[in-house]
Every structure is written in C-alpha cells, then in structure tokens.
Amino acid sequence: MAKRALVSGGAGFIGSHIADALLDRGFSVVVLDDLSTGRRENVPAAAEFVELDVRSAEAARLVREGGFDVVAHQAAQIDVRKSVTNPVHDASINILGALNLLEGVRGAAHRPRFIFASTGGAIYGDFVTPPNREDYSKDPDSPYGIAKLAVEHYLAYYGRIHGVEGVVLRYANVYGPRQDPHGEAGVVAIFCNRLLDGRPLTIFGDGKQTRDYVHVKDVAAANVAAATASLPDRGRLDARAMNIGTGVETDVLTLANTLRQVSGRDVPVEFAPARPGEQLRSAVGIEKVQRVLGWAPQRSLADGLRETFEYFAARRA
C-alpha cells in the first residue's frame, strides 16, 4: 500500500511542488488548503483536495483520523511586512495553525512524521555572519520569524513529551514557477513580470543586500528526503532542524542582471530609497542537510531563473 501524505498549503507555490514530488515518489497525497492565497489549479490532478483552514477543528480531525505517514506543513502567512503590521493575525495562522495540526498528530493512532517549513532567513536575524548554521543564535527581527521559531520550540516539545517525529526545514529564499510576488524571494516573480512588460527593474537601496536563492523543485526534493530518510534523535531544538538553501549569497543587483541576461530582455535598472529595517545579508550553510538527508541543490541560479522566466512568459502566451 502506498504511503499517505498530507500537504497543508498544497495549493500554494511551494506546497504544490511538494505534492508533485511526493506523488512522483509513489505517495498518496491529500492537499489541505483554504485557498486564501493558494490556487486550485496548482493542486495536482492525482491529489485529493480538501478545502479547510489549518486552524479549524476539521483540519485537526483530518490529521488525527486520516491515516497519514507524513504531514508536510507548508500553510502559513508568508509576508514579513504583514506580520509587522498585524502580528496577531500572523500568530493566529503561523503558531495556532501549526499547533492545531500538531494536536491532530498527537491524537492519531498512527502518528505521522511532521515536517515543518521554517525560515532560514528571518529566524537568524542580522546579528550573525552568513552563511548561517543551524546552531547559530536565533534573534528574529519580525513577528513572522518569531512565530516560526516558536513553532520549532513547540515541535521539540512534542518530540520530547509526546514522541512526535518531527523535522524542521529552514528555507532560504525560495523562487521558481508558480511563485506569487510576495515575500522577499517574490522579487524574482516581480522582476519576471516587469521584464515581460518592458518596465524597469526597481531595486531598493544600493542593491548590495544579499539573499540565498534556492529553486522550489530543490526544496520539494528536500521535503521528500525528510519524509523518507532516517532521522537523528528527536527532542532538542536544533537536532532535527536543517537549512535548505545553496550556501551562496547573491546580491539583488546580480539577481537583476542575471535575469536580464537569461531572459534576453534589456530593460533598465532603477534605484529607489532603501526600505527601513531590511535585512542586509542572508545565506544558510547546508552541510548538515547534506550529511543527514543526503540532499543538495541541483539547479544553478542562472538555470533556475531561466526556467522561472520561461514559466511566466508561457503564462502570457
């Protein structure tokens, strides 16, 4: 019998690619999404779709009674700026939603492995020097990062006290096909649309701020590895936390120029005032995930950006 997986947020950008990858590995997949930001057309045809809010009693019941082997929890409020504007709303989804599903796991007769999508950028803050390792101090500067770190602590607790088998994947800046122009990595989608419109690419500040851009299909492969690999002892906060990125810092100006090159669109670059509080440098070390899960990114930035631009171009055709 095929293993059974639940992907919360599986109608979204990252979650839908994870659902695809799990199906390709022979899993039976159920997608849980309230379609507040996800799109029904992103859900793979071979997956079962359930429209629910992750905070609902029905979602907890689905986890508890669904007979799942793994839950890949991707559903989240993903906009850092929105978390600053409305931290209560952010916490209601990003903390209480995760706890609701974890309570479902705790009550299941056969407890599924719980894969939590955390953040490899916002969780470390600007007080450490990249590439950030898993055991670096965590000092997030936003309610979004604080919520992600809180759930990591809860997951460690559920491991120690309730025997829940959890793993944390701290994503760098994920980009690729199906991306919406939200969050920090959303700059790739924004730039692709501007290139197609023939409009200038706007860079805030001097363009030297760096991020670690990782392709969504590589992230999906990391989730499959986390769903199937043997894991180290549970319980400690960082024991099962792994960064998912490339380990490479790419500044925004280089990103813009690479996209202009691979797209063949020679639009100008314009500069706007820097945004207050923006993180200056971000990249994650990936030695641990290579050692524990045998995972490494497979796509170069140029190839990944070319594929992403071609996706947006095809949508316009």
- Specify the range with the lowest mean pLDDT, choosing from 59-73, 85-99, 181-195, 231-245: 231-245
| Structural domain count of the chain | 2
Gap between the Cα atoms of 227 and 6, Å rounded: 11
Contact 71, 106 (CB under 8 A): no
Percent share of the chain, pLDDT over 90: 84
Among 146, 47, 52, CA closest to 100: 52
CA distance 246 to 39: 28
Calpha distance 312→187 (Å, rounded): 13
Whether 136 is a known active-site residue: answer: no
- Do residue 127 and residue 186 come from a single domain? no
Q: Is the pLDDT of residue 120 over 60?
A: yes
Helices of type H across the chain:
13-24, 57-65, 80-85, 87-94, 96-106, 143-162, 187-197, 216-228, 252-263, 287-292, 301-316
Of 124, 136, 144, 175, the catalytic one is 144
Indicate if 85 and 222 belong to the same structural domain: yes
Tokens of 142: 């936003």
CATH code of the domain in which 264 resides: 3.90.25.10
Tokens of 38: 């996800």
d(C-alpha 283, C-alpha 159), whole Å: 28
As a whole-number percent, the residues of the chain with pLDDT over 70 amount to 97
Residue 293 lies in a domain: no
Task: Please state the separation of Cα 94 from the chain's center in Å.
Answer: 13
pTM of the model: 0.96
pLDDT in tens, 80-116: 889 999 999 999 999 999 999 999 999 999 999 999 9
pLDDT at residue 183, rounded to an integer: 55
Same domain, 93 and 184: no
186 and 160 together in one domain: no
pLDDT of residue 234: 61
Q: Taking Cα atoms as reference points, which of 40, 73, 82 lies closest to residue 55?
A: 73
**130 and 204 co-located in one domain:** no
Are both 308 and 270 inside the same structural domain?
yes
Residue recorded with tokens 């992750």? 54
Structural domain of 252: 180-212+247-283+300-316
Question: Would you give the distance in Å from CA 93 to the centre of its chain?
Answer: 15
**Structure tokens, 268:** 């100008």
